[in-house]
Structures are given as C-alpha cells and as structure tokens.
Amino acid sequence: MGHAGRNTRALIVEPDADLGQLWARHLEHLDIDVVLTATAPAAVTALEAGGFDVIVINLEQDNGSALAVADVASLRHPRANVVFVTSGRFFSDGSIFAFSGNARMMVQSTTPPDDLAQIVRHYGSGVSPADAVSQSPAKG
C-alpha cells in the first residue's frame, strides 16, 4: 500500500512503448496504479495533474530531460522516490544521486520486470528513507 492506505501510484517515463507496457503490467499485478508516458513533457503534465509515490525514469530521454522530470518531481512531489533506468554506463559512478535528491536507485534497462516491480513496491510502501533508518533495529 502507498500513503494513507491507498494503492501505490507510479509514473513510468519510458520512450520504448513495448518496454513501458511490460513494466506497467508487472506493476499492476502488484496492485500499483500506473501512469505510463513516453516523453518528458507528458511526464511533467502527469506530475502536475497528480501525486506519485514512485517515478521510474529512463535516463535515455532527449536532451537530458530525464533530470528535468526528476527536478519537477522533487518540487511538486518531494516525497516521491525516483528510480532511474539506463541501458548505458551514463552515471555509473553514482553521480546521479548528486543531481537528483529524490533518486533512490539506478538499474539497468535489462533488469527483470518482476525485480523492477518489487523495487517500485518497496519504494512506494510509504516509508521514507529517513523513516526506514529510524525504524531499523539498533545493532549491539
């Protein structure tokens, strides 16, 4: 479940329609409400229309617009968690986390859809990263 007992809401920004639909089906099997967009402008429109718990963004958008979508998300939905997807080695050094405060993970586009769905479910659970740390049992 997402926040306040409702289903988790996920926005997928993926220019490859077949891949986006595959991911959406796997998320929907976990009762995650999905909005699928192919472009950054469509994603921004979706972000302006409603809230999302998790945003899955393919980094291979035109002109670095994936980061622009993440920026809009951090302003409009600061609690939304962003999962970046890439097929290349771009940002493989982890620097994506310096560019996007909402970034939680970066995965390869070849990640099995079931695994991606579980990642989205985890980050859409309504537990913020700070809450997860504070709820962890103390070592000792």
Q: What is the pLDDT of residues 34-75, one digit of tens each?
A: 999 999 999 999 999 988 999 999 988 776 688 889 889 888
Of 123, 83, 131, which is closest to residue 2 (Cα–Cα)? 123
Q: Which residue has the higher pLDDT, 135 or 102?
A: 102
Q: Residue 82: is its pLDDT beyond 70?
A: yes
Q: Which pTM was predicted?
A: 0.83
Could you tell me the residue range of the domain that residue 47 belongs to? Answer: 9-96+109-124
Beta carbons within 10 angstroms of residue 2's beta carbon: 20
Cβ(53)–Cβ(81) below 8 Å:
yes
Answer yes or no: is 136 within a domain. no
Answer yes or no: is 64 within a domain. yes
Cβ(22)–Cβ(16) below 8 Å:
no
Q: What is the pLDDT of residues 119-132, one digit of tens each?
A: 999 999 864 444 44
Answer yes or no: is 17 within a domain. yes
Which of 71-85, 88-102, 124-138 comes out lowest in average pLDDT?
124-138
Answer yes or no: is 102 within a domain. no
| Total domains in the fold of the chain | 1
CATH number for the domain that contains residue 54: 3.40.50.2300
